[in-house]
A and B are shown apart, each in its own frame.
Chain A
Amino acid sequence: MTERSQAQRTWRNPLFVWDSGQEVEQLPTASFVSHQEIWDTTRASSTKLFPVGRLRYYHKWAGHGESLWRRHRYWPTRRRVLRIRGEYNEKSLRREKTIVDKRPIWWVMGLIALALIPLITPASLENTLLTAGVTFGIYAAINLCWMLVIGTASIFSLATYAIVGTAAFVTAYSSATLGLPWWALPPLGAVVGLIFGGIIALPATRLDGFYYALLTLGLNELCRVYFVTSKEFGSATGGLYGAATYIPQDWSSSGQLQLAYYACFTLMLLALLLYRFVNGRRLGRILRMAPEKREAFAEATGVNYRQARVRVFLISSIALGFVGGFYSANYGGVAFSIFSFDTVLLGLAMLVIGGVGRSEGAVVGTLIVVFFDKVLITLGPMRLIIIGLIMLFVVLYLRNGLFGIKQQFRSWRNKKKSERRSTRAEKGGEMLPEEATEASSVDDVYRRRYDKMQREFLKRLLTPEVIDEHRRAPQGQHSEALERLLIYFRNQPQPDKYAITALQSIEGYRIVALSGHRGVAPRVVEDKIYRSPSEAYHGVFLRRVQDLLES
C-alpha cells in the first residue's frame, strides 16, 4: 500500500455550492486499496503451509536416432535391461526416453564397488576391512534368503540362524570325522537345510505369522542349548573346528583374505540371483497377491498361497543350509555364537534397517550393521547399542526401513498437497477447478471470477458512514464509495432484482423482487411498508448490502 493511499481521504461534494439543501460538503471516504491486494488477501490461506516439492523429476535422455527402439532382454527371462519409457516431446519435436526404474544402475555400480574394494584397500586396513567383507558376504546371503521368507512368503520366521547353524555344525562335524572335502560341505548343508526346513515348515502351515515368530524364537534357543551341551559338537571348545576349508594354507594371509572375500562375494551374488528368481518370477508374484491379512482375497482369486509359502520356505531353507555348509568351509568350523540371541537380533536389525521385502534393503542393511559391528570393533558394547538405536529409530519413524523413505516421503507430500488444495477451495461464486472443466464457456469462468473479485472489493467499501450517507440522501450526488456500490447494485441482472412498488390503497411503498420473466408478477419480499420513497430506496439499499455481505 502506498503512502498516498494510506492517508485518510476526504470526498468533497462538487454540487455543494449550488444546492445545499440536505447535501453535505465533504465526507471521509474509504482509503484506496488495490483490487489485487484484496484478491490476494481473500484467497490467501491462513493455514501454515510447507514447501513440499513439486512434480517428480526425471531426466530426459535423447532418443535412439535411426532405430526406433532397442529392447535387449536378459536371456532366460523376458526382462528388459532397463525399464525405459519412450516419449515424443511436442515442444522440441524430438523423441525422448525416460529411465523409469534406475535401480539396476545403482545395483551394478554398487556391486562393482564391492568387487573393487580388495584392490583399493590400504594395507593397514586390509585385515579389518576384508574380514568384515567376508562376514558381510555371508550375512548378506543369509539375509537375502531370510528376506524371501519374511518379505516374499510373509512367514515371520526367526529360525534362520537355527537352520544355518545346524547345517554348519552338521557339515563341520561330518567333515571333521568323515574327512569330507570342502566342496562337499555346501551340498551336504543344503540337504540338512531341506530336512530341518521341512520339519519346521510343519507348524508354519498351521500357525499365523505372529505365533510362528514366537515359536521360532524359541527354536533358535533350543538349538543353541542342544549344541552347547552336546559333547560331540565341542561343548568344551566353544565351537566345532577342524572342518575342511577351501582356503589353501600355504598362501599368504593377504591372499587368503582376498580369496575368502571373493568367494563370499560370489555367494552373495548367488543369493541375489536366487532372490531374483524366486521373488521376481511366478512364485513371488503369487505371494505378492497374498500378503498378510489378505489371504482370503488371494484364495478367492485362485492363488494357493499355502503351497507357495511352503515352497518358498523350503527353497530358502535349502539355500540357508547351503550357506551354512559354506560357512563351515570358509571358517573351517563354526562357533556357538551363530545361535546366540544377539546374532538373531542383529540379523533382524539388518533386515529392518534396510526395509523388509527388498533385496537392496537386505544388502545395504547388512552393510550398515556389519560396518558398525565388525569395523568399529574398538567401541565395545557401544557398537551394539548404536545398532540398537538405529534399529529403534527406523522402527519408530520409518514405515519400511531406509529404502521405504522415498515412498513414505511421497505419500507425506501427497497428503500435504491435498491439504493445501483443500485450504484453497474457498468458494464464493467462483468455480472450483473440477467445475471449471465442465463449464461450456471459459468466459463464464472468468466472469464469475471477476464478479467475486469485485464483490470482495466492494465489501471493503461498506462502512457505517457510507450507509448513513445513503440514509440521508438516497438520490443525488454521492461519495465515491457509495457511488461504486450503487453502480454495482444497479448493474445486477433482472431476475430477483429488488424494486419498489407504490401501494394503491394507502400512501406507502413496499419492496418487491422482479421475476425476470415477462408476464410473471414480482414477488413481495417483506411486509414492511415505507412511508416515503426515500425510505423505500434506503430499504432496498440495506437489503442489497445485506446480500452483498452474505455472498
Chain B
Amino acid sequence: MDIWFVVSNTIVLACIYGTLAIGVSITWSSLGLLNLAYGFIFAFAGYGAWLFAQHVSSWGPAVLASGVLSGALGGLFVCALAFIPIHDKPNFTIRGLIATLAINLIGTQSLLWWFGPRSKSLPEIFGTWKFSLSGMTLTADKVGNVITSVVMLLLVLRWMRSSRRGLEIRAMMMNPHAASIVGIGVRRTSFYVMALTGALAGLAAVLLSQTYYISPFGGLTAMIKAVSIALCGGLGSVQGAVIAAVVLGLNEALTTVSIGGRYVLITQFLMIILILLVRPRGIAGILDRAREA
C-alpha cells in the first residue's frame, strides 16, 4: 500500500467533501432547511461553467468564477422557490425536504432535456503540469483543488467571522427567533446563506469536474456524500463537518487501496452508522436541540 497515495487522496477528497458538507451544514443550521436540491445546484453550476468555457473564455480562473457565480444563482433560485413560501408554515422541516427534492427532480430533468444525456468536460483549470516529491506524484488538479478549496473555505470562514452579514448568519444559526427580534430578517439572511452555500457547491462542482465529468445527474453522488458527511459531523457544525470530511476521505482512500472502489460506499455507510450509533447527533452535533425546537 502506498502511504503517500493514501494521504494525498485523503487530503483531496477531504477538501472537496468538506466544501460540500459545510454548505449543507450551514444551510441546515441557519435556515433549518435541508437542501436536497444540492445535486441540482451542483450540476447547474457545472453547466454554467461549461457554457462560460464554451462561449466566453476558457481561462481557468474565469471558468472557476463563473461556476461559483452560477452556483450562487442556483442557490438563490432554490431559496426563492423552496424556502421563502413555506418557512413559516407548519411542518416546515419535512416540507422543505420534499420541496427541495422536487426542485432537484425538476432541475435535473430540465438539464437533461436541455443539454442531453452526454456528459461534458471542462478545460483544465490548473494546467497539466505535475511534479514528484519524495516518491509522491502531485498532479496539477490535485494541488489546485486542495489550494483552491482551502483558500475559499478560509475566506468563507473569515467572512462569516468578521463581516456584518456573517454575524447575521451566525446569529440565525444560534437562535432564529431571537435574531428576527433584533432585526435580522429571516428572508433576507436566507438569500445570503443560500447564495453562499450555492457558491460553495459551484466551487466543488468545478473542482470535481477536473476528475469527473459534468452530467445532469452528476450532482447526486456528491450530494449524498455531502449530506452524509454533514450528518456524520453533526448537522450545523462546521468543525464537525471538517472532521467528518477528513475521516471519511481517509476511509475512502484506504478502502480504494485495500479492497477496491466498489466497497467505498459500504464501508462509508458502516462507518457513518457506527458513528451515529455512538453519537446520534453526529461528531459535533450540539445545535440541533435548539434548532428543532
Contact = CB atoms under 8 A, between A and B. Distances in A.
A213 B101 CA distance: 12
Given A215-B272, A226-B265, A348-B98, A210 B280 contact: no
Interface stretch (B87-95, B162-170, B180-188, B199-207): B87-95
10 contacts: A202-B277, A206-B276, A211-B276, A213-B97, A221-B221, A226-B262, A345-B105, A381-B112, A385-B106, A388-B109
B266 A226 contact: yes
A218 B227 contact: yes
A87 B113 CA distance: 60
Interface residues of B, number: 44
A436 interface: no
A123 interface: no
Interface string A467-508: 000000000000000000000000000000000000000000
Interface in B227-245: 227-228, 231, 235
B262 A229 contact: yes
A38 interface: no
B269 interface: yes
B105 A380 contact: no
- What 6 pairs between A and B have smallest CB-CB spacing? A388-B106, A388-B105, A229-B262, A391-B102, A392-B102, A381-B113
A214 B95 contact: no
Contacts of B101: 345, 348, 391
A495 B113 CA distance: 85
A203 B279 CA distance: 11
A156 interface: yes
Contacts, number: 115
A419 interface: no
Interface string A207-220: 11011011101110
B102 A349 contact: yes
Contact of B86 (A210, A215, A389, A396): A396
Given A214-B231, A215-B276, A226-B266, A384 B105 contact: yes
A225 interface: yes
A406 B272 CA distance: 42
B273 interface: yes
A225 B265 contact: yes
B224 interface: yes
Contacts of B224: 217-218, 221
Contacts of B110: 381, 385
A352 B217 CA distance: 23
B66 interface: no
A218 B280 contact: no
Contacts of A215: 228, 231, 269, 272-273, 276
A341 B86 CA distance: 25
Interface in B215-266: 217, 220-221, 224, 227-228, 231, 235, 262, 265-266
Contact of B276 (A207, A213, A388, A396): A207
Contacts of B109: 381-382, 384-385, 388
A382 B110 CA distance: 8
Interface string B71-88: 000000000011001100
Contacts of A203: 273, 276-277
A217 B226 CA distance: 12
Given A387-B105, A388-B109, A208 B85 contact: no
Contacts of B15: none
Contacts of A392: 81-82, 99, 102-103, 106
Nearest to A387: B105
Contact of B94 (A156, A207, A387): A156
A211 B90 contact: no
Contacts of B277: 202-203, 206
Q: Which of B36, B89, B101, B113 is most buried by chain A, counting CB atoms within 10 A of its CB?
A: B101
Given A381-B112, A388-B102, A395-B102, 20 more contacts: A202-B277, A210-B94, A214-B34, A214-B228, A214-B231, A217-B227, A218-B228, A219-B269, A221-B224, A221-B265, A225-B262, A225-B265, A226-B262, A230-B262, A342-B105, A345-B104, A348-B98, A385-B109, A385-B110, A389-B102
B280 to A, nearest CB: 5
Nearest to A391: B102
A342 to B, nearest CB: 7
B20 to A, nearest CB: 14
Contacts of A306: none
